[in-house]
Amino acid sequence: MHLVHIARPPRPPHSATVDARPTEPADCIRSFVFWANLAAQEASGDAAASTSPGRVVQRLQGSSESQTYLFAVVDGNSTLGEVSELGLPLIPAVEPSPELDYLGFIHISLPLLEERDGAEIECVLCDLPLPGEPLDGKGQKVAEWMGTKALELARQLGRTVAHVGLLHPPGTDPDYDAMGSTYRELGFTQKHAEHQLVMDIPESPVAALLPAGITARVWPDYDIPEDFINEVMRLLSLASKDAETGDLTVEPIVWTRTRLREAHSRLRSRRGHTLLVALTAEEGNILTLAEMARHEDANPEVCEWTLTVTDRPHRRRGLAQLAKLTALHEVARYWPQARRCYCSVAAKDEAMNAIYRDLGARELSRSSAWELFLRD
């Protein structure tokens, strides 16, 4: 049993069109996606809980906000070939690629702007047990070895705080996840919990009735008028600062014009789309923002809620729900094929959970975030 480092694919040139796609993802990427999707789908009972090989390759290319690493746990003797900067055998993320016997994968994301001490770790096992069943002896050995190696890699990459997430069906505990007991034994403690929800999008949603003096504005794909950019940045920063994150060690995101431009550019290069709905006062200030997102390579019937924030002086007036109703109405115009919208909401966020209940959302799964401070 040994690790191989899946090479970072080159970023597309700045002159590349939005239709430019990377070379065909390698077998290692397709295997990682298959097993990661299977685990998520078994926990949620929903086939839409998935990613695609192309999106994983795009993430590995990195950005100004984060750098992603992917490692494979391989059965047998050490793989021969070029060695990575971490001293591991290197295999390509795009074809052609070697055929190897994969036992699991370690996915590590490093924030580059905030939380620069942190590493977000995901360990994915191949040959999962039946849902809710414990690992057999061989699987437990792989899980323990992989978890230990993941922490070693995080230290090697200069990080001192490790975060992992566990996904499980409603009514079960985090140990439903095959890696749950392993993380606990490594010293991780739970710091946060969320619910994953889904709601149906009506074919002809009714427009929200807005109070006098409030106007709804819709900006697709960050096409925000200059007059509102400062207000949007203020609300985005506020959303990060006020987000319910339990006891996790986190830093709020501060939005700037540079960050907004880079987010717009990244959205285009990754073939993503957003719908930003703002409720504004007569004076021009933004009272509430709500955002939905989708990806061209994903199921066209699926989108997700990615943001809802109301300015502090205007909370508890029902504006967040009105912004969401407006967004659902606008989806029919911008993304007419969308039929379902997904979200993840903090278990302790009573106000947002109440809004989603009123909108008819139903629970799919639960997740928990765990944290460990790494020792030298």
Q: Report the pLDDT value the prediction gives residue 133, as an integer from 0 to 100.
A: 81
Percent of the chain past pLDDT 90, that is, above it, reads 77
Tokens of 361: 């959302």
What are the CB-based long-range contacts (under 8 Å, 24+) for 16-21? 16/269, 18/268, 18/269, 18/271, 21/54
Query: Residue 214, SS3?
Result: coil
> What is residue 16's predicted lDDT score, i.e. its pLDDT?
45
Q: What is the mean predicted confidence (pLDDT) over 208-236? A: 95
pLDDT band of 298, cuts 50, 70, 90: confident
Q: What are the tens digits of pLDDT across the range 44-57?
A: 888 888 888 988 99
Encode pLDDT of 175-211 as tens digits: 899 899 999 999 999 999 999 999 999 888 888 999 9
Q: Considering Cα of 37, then 295, then 167, then 156, what sign does the dihedral take?
A: positive
Confidence grade of residue 5 (pLDDT, cut at 50, 70, 90): very high
**Res 318 pLDDT > 80:** yes
**Per-residue confidence at 13, pLDDT binned at 50, 70, 90?**
low
The Cα 78–Cα 323 span in angstroms is: 55
Alpha carbon 111 to its chain centroid, in Å, reads 13
How confident is the model over 89-115, as pLDDT tens digits?
999 999 888 889 999 999 999 999 999
Residue 212 near residue 266, CB atoms below 8 Å? no
Q: Look at strands 215-220 and 189-200 and give their pairing.
A: unpaired
- All structural domains of the chain, each given as residue ranges with its CATH number in brackets, are 2-187 (3.40.630), 200-364 (3.40.630.30)
Strands 272-280 and 286-295: antiparallel
pLDDT of residue 15: 41
Q: Is the pLDDT of residue 22 over 70?
A: no
CB 174 within 8 A of CB 168: yes
Tokens of 274: 């957003």
